Amino acid sequence: MSIRTIEWTGDSLLLLDQRALPGKESVLRCSNASGVAGAIRTMVVRGAPAIGVAAAFGLVLAVPCTRGGKRPWREAFAAAAEELGGTRPTAVNLFWAIERMRGAASTLPDDPEEARRGLENEAVAIYEEDIAANRAMGAHGARLLPDGASVLTHCNAGALATAGYGTALGVIRAAYAAGKRIHVYVDETRPFLQGARLTAWELMKDRIPCTLVTDNMAAKLLGDGKIQAAIVGADRIAGNGDVANKIGTYGVAVLCRVHKVPFYVAAPCSTIDPGVRTGKGIPIEERDADEVTHLAGKRIAPDGVRVYNPAFDVTPARYVTAIVTEKGVLLPPLSRAIRDLFR
């Protein structure tokens, strides 16, 4: 894989610093759980599955690899789980991964060396399963994209947002690898510019044809009949199929409906939260005003202006044509498809 978003060395976690892309490919080394929590909070690593995988390794780092520590490893693990869980509220993969690591921890012995090995095995499994899930989504989803299609995507749901390959971009990658002539229109994704900075960079690295547009150009593209499908990732999918994803996704979905263009969501089962009945129950992160008032560090709005900066919106299930998961393509009625999936 040409993009290494997350790399585990055995005693530290290496994260490709996504804040510096596309200008610089620099790597941040985290050698403790607080370092990983800080990296998630400050968007060094972002994207729902990537956040979950990073947190899992953060929990490995919480446990000392030698005996004779000052406090039992379970205490350090519990404190780290708490800290990591407080970093970003919307992407459910974070909580899913922490729960999975808690489950593994509950079966491990009191000896820290053995416990750390057990936790490491679990985190590596989460990492590898994420890549496998993305590959499977690619295989299921590629069929949905017609040869010659122009496909609109929003935010970054690629290798950078996962352990590798990507969810929405994984589907695009798989269709392209199968020989389909696909052209990707990339929404720049204000205010954090994941589309312009990350998705355009990823697609160009893989030589997949793409065109960058600002978010407010999507309506014109769809109105002009230039888009045959839209595909995005997700941060959390409620039991009824409502989809929380990067702010601006809802607008894309509504435009697709108006213009009779299919709107697809690609996400692993770890992004589905059947415990939340509808999108109304999904907590939406609000981020710093600076992201809106500044562009590349330069102020673009008057000092002191009031700002609203929700990082995600919720697309009602009725606008979703299908959800591509590693277990297959879910079709409406999505509440029933999700119920069957988790049965």
Window 229-248: residues binding ligand MRU (CB under 6 A)? 233-235, 245-246
5 interacts with ligand MRU by CB under 6 A: no
Neighbour-count burial for 260-276, b at 16+ CB within 10 Å, e otherwise? ebbbbbbbbebbbbeeb
In this chain, which of 6, 15, 36, 48 binds ligand MRU, going by CB under 6 A? 48
In this chain, which of 13, 221, 237, 311 binds ligand MRU, going by CB under 6 A? 311
Provide the β-strand partners of residue 186.
153, 212
Compute the radius of gyration of the chain from its Cα atoms. Answer: 20
End-to-end CA separation in angstroms for the chain: 34
Angstrom CA distances, 198 to 25, 158, 205, 206, 297, stand at 11, 9, 10, 12, 18
CA 6/CA 60 separation, integer angstroms: 14
Cβ nearer to ligand MRU, comparing 105 with 232: 232
161 interacts with ligand MRU by CB under 6 A: yes
Cβ nearer to ligand MRU, comparing 105 with 157: 157
Cβ nearer to ligand MRU, comparing 245 with 315: 245
In this chain, which of 87, 167, 240, 293 binds ligand MRU, going by CB under 6 A? 167
CB of 95 to ligand MRU, least distance (A): 14
Residue type, 277: R
Active-site residues, by number, are 235
Residue 264 neighbours by CB under 8 Å, 6+ apart: 141, 144, 168, 171, 229, 230, 231, 232, 320, 321, 322, 323, 324
Cβ nearer to ligand MRU, comparing 49 with 58: 49
155 interacts with ligand MRU by CB under 6 A: yes
Residue type, 158: G
173 interacts with ligand MRU by CB under 6 A: no
Q: Which residues are near ligand MRU by CB under 6 A?
A: 46-49, 91, 155, 157, 161-162, 167, 194, 233-235, 245-246, 311
